[in-house]
Structure 1
Amino acid sequence: MTKDGYDRVGPFHPFVAWGAVALFDLSLVAAVTLTLLVGIDWTEDLIFPGGPEMLPF
């Protein structure tokens, strides 16, 4: 038990574990967003080839 009354997660304070889970969730959201943007850019290039790019990749 910590001084705050939480159970430890292995050798770590629960806040460290929660932070790690939050970073993992954020990385998953970023990966899904990037995948969607790449798919949208690829589809846009198929429909309207050439012209100005909206996304820098």
Structure 2
Amino acid sequence: MNQAKNRITADGFDRVGPFHPFIAWTAVALFDLCLVLAVATTLLAGVDWTEDMIWPGGPELLPF
């Protein structure tokens, strides 16, 4: 029973391994943000590639 009390934080949350839940939630939020940025970059690269096929030359949307 004492072990169960040690797993509860002062805020009343269960620990995620040795970490406070806020750290785990931050890690998940950063992972989601990286995923969204990767998808957005992929979409922009596809749009830029398609634009280059239709209208070659001119300003680029992305520097790569």
Instruction: Give the alignment's TM-score, normalised by structure 1.
Output: 0.93
Runs of 4+ with deviation above 2 angstroms? none
- Shift, 1:54, TM fit: 2.9
- Structural RMSD (CA): 0.8
- Alignment pair present for 1:53 and 2:29: no
How many percent of aligned residue pairs carry the same amino acid? 75
Q: Which structure would you say has the larger Rg?
A: 2
- Shift, 1:52, TM fit: 2.1
Q: Which runs of 5+ in 2 are unaligned?
A: 1-7
Aligned residues: 57
1:23-38 equivalences in 2 (<5 Å): 23-38=30-45
